[in-house]
A and B are shown apart, each in its own frame.
Chain A
């Protein structure tokens, strides 16, 4: 296996720029991240979000003397380890982490200096007269102490507010001649705990000031921005999608590998261009998967590449998706259904379409599919899980399909689509030439494949009933975002709690006057959405 680095975390920050390929898209993103505009960078695992944040950080460090913009990289990857009933613990943890990263960056650039805490060269012992804390360090310390004692009785007047932090940042910026701090939140909202996602985005919005600009990398389909955060007003959302049908795609992917390749690998890429291109198309724009699969077939011989395409995209790529089911037990039914839907419905349907068009000598192929906007909410949730691992990519929403129906358009990973083919390399080459985004397979609001999922939804609470979830299920349906008429209708048919409504079927909802299939679906989506939020994250 060739020794290629496939994760940004494996690269020491000082070597980041050595591996950077400045494609037009990436350059634009880096410029946006450098600007004062708050940016939310959205992309599946392995598309290069962390990498671009690090590249921007490195650029800003290089130009600090001239621009005076200090980059602060903060990773929230550890947030999934925080398990506490204290609703403020997560907020305090985020604040503590942010403060400590700001202080570290100030130390690293020499804008702030202090002796090591247990000893000082100036005093010979404990830190002495020179150790007066800046307001920023004081804020950091207080947050650190608070989050480490979740649930402890703390005088809330002692806990600094976000405004205190902003004031401290403003002071330090003015004193040290810093134009502004540019914050890069990595792995923000990477877990599926809606409450924490909301807290994060509220903080993200509240932190905004002339002295601090915030940017965050998130996975696709983060839907829990909370009531106070409006994606278009409070940030500029940017999708990090490397589209295989875009011009320059192959060159960009090739350059990414070349940055790390030794002369032998470079020669093999040159010799077996088609095989390399097949691997590049197969990853559907995911550099990490490309580095991984090239590492598995470094000689790029046809047989070797064919084996990878058949094995990796049939089994290995799914392992990460399946791991999600272990990590987020509450989502198991969605995760398992998602795989089945793609493997048994979407891929065979797309293959059938492509074969048919080939017979008809049409030059187009598809990897795209469309889901009706009124499809059950759980179907969208399952697709969100698939987007996280990059097996599907949401292309856009509001797409008009047959009979003027509206829905969202997705693309399935090309490697998965080509894997069942007897000759996946030529199949992928053909995709590269003939994919047509206007051609997609449609799945209506009540497609039979969805029945399998909606029938297991009621099993959620049986699998991992927790006290929080139990409390949620016991709540009156009056808490739901339904109309007064719908609520009284549910009461009239005996569905008084969220739990009971969840157990019921849409047909039962239709017993209420004037509630037909469309309304009952919408109502069910609202019921399910309220429960999904409390599934274990």
Chain B
């Protein structure tokens, strides 16, 4: 639905479909201008950098099959960001959920090649409950103990963050009464929803870098770690276990 005051002008009898869509496009264009004017442009830039960071993960994991999933996640993330700038908020949040799902799925499947191959061949589906399962998922103690034991104490917290973020973004998929994400009911710029998206995205960044570090960081060469270090220090430097691995100081 588009903004109410514009509705009458949309009802021009001879308006063809192209003309109608052009009006929506023009409206999206004006929202785009709001979204990309300072200070909002700064917020966009700060969120866009996540795509570059994921690109570095893809680069260091390029020999692994699951890197393809991460590439899809990057593309979807950029689509979500583009939707956000044009005021397509529901799609922007849905995109965020998909990116979360893809990254968690990539990490989960990286530890199970049979499932990974089945998933790529479309013979297995993503089951959210299994990728966040307490005992079997990337957030399980078992998974942490196998790949980065020092992070075992943190997995429960990050699992909760992932579950909450997924639930909140799911509102935008199901379209039920909003509890966490109050979307505008027409095509219009909405500062609070715009800000909310960035706030949810920043949670996604933490979860994504955490699970990727949990799974791969201990196994990477020093050179590969050095590619990741500039942004991992910013994103997860507050976790002593990761900071130490990146060459930073211990607590105390």
Contacts and interface: CB of A to CB of B under 8 A. Distances in A.
Interface string A80-107: 1100000000000000010011001001
A110 B249 contact: no
Nearest to A50: B249
B168 interface: no
Contact of A9 (B41, B46, B62, B237): B237
Contact of A107 (B45, B58, B248): B45
Interface in B36-55: 38-39, 41-42, 44-46, 48-49, 51-52, 54-55
A116 B52 contact: yes
A121 B78 contact: yes
Nearest to A117: B55
In the A-B complex, list the 8 residue pairs whose CB atoms are closest, starting with the nearest: A110-B45, A116-B55, A78-B247, A117-B55, A121-B78, A116-B51, A118-B58, A107-B49
Contact of A65 (B39, B226, B237, B249): B39
Interface string A335-359: 0000000000000000000000000
B204 to A, nearest CB: 15
A242 B54 CA distance: 43
B56 interface: yes
Interface in B177-199: none
A119 B237 contact: no
B49 A118 contact: no
A107 B48 contact: yes
Interface in A113-127: 113-119, 121
A11 interface: yes
Interface of B: 38-39, 41-42, 44-46, 48-49, 51-52, 54-56, 58-59, 62, 67, 71, 74-75, 78-79, 82, 223, 226, 229-231, 233-234, 237-238, 240, 243, 246-249, 251-252
A292 interface: yes
B49 to A, nearest CB: 5
A97 B155 CA distance: 30
Nearest to B202: A14
Interface residues of A, number: 34
Contacts of A104: 49, 230-231, 234
B251 A7 contact: yes
Contacts of B79: 121
Contacts of B247: 77-78, 80-81
Contacts of A121: 75, 78-79, 82
Given A9-B240, A65-B38, A119-B58, 17 more contacts: A10-B251, A12-B238, A75-B248, A77-B247, A77-B249, A101-B230, A107-B48, A108-B45, A108-B46, A108-B49, A109-B45, A110-B45, A110-B46, A113-B45, A115-B51, A116-B58, A119-B71
Nearest to A82: B247
Nearest to B227: A144
A320 B44 CA distance: 43
B170 to A, nearest CB: 24
A104 B233 CA distance: 12
A76 to B, nearest CB: 10
Contact of A148 (B78, B223, B243, B252): B223
B240 A118 contact: no
A116 B74 contact: yes
A100 B229 CA distance: 10
A313 B82 CA distance: 57
Nearest to B222: A81
Nearest to A316: B252
Contact of B238 (A10, A114, A117): A10
Contacts of B39: 65
A437 interface: no
Contacts of A452: none
27 contacts: A6-B251, A6-B252, A7-B249, A7-B252, A9-B238, A9-B240, A10-B240, A77-B249, A78-B246, A104-B234, A107-B48, A109-B42, A109-B46, A110-B42, A110-B48, A115-B51, A117-B52, A117-B55, A117-B56, A118-B59, A119-B55, A119-B71, A119-B74, A121-B75, A121-B78, A121-B82, A148-B226
Nearest to A7: B251
Contacts of A151: none
Contacts of A78: 229, 246-248
B252 A292 contact: yes
A104 B53 CA distance: 10
Nearest to B54: A116
A103 to B, nearest CB: 9
A107 B52 contact: yes
Interface string A114-151: 11111101000000000000000000000000001000
Nearest to A121: B78
Contacts of A107: 45, 48-49, 52
Nearest to A65: B38
A77 B230 CA distance: 12
B128 to A, nearest CB: 24
Nearest to B56: A117
Nearest to B52: A116
Contacts of B231: 104
Contacts of A111: 45
Contacts of B42: 64, 109-110
A446 B251 CA distance: 39
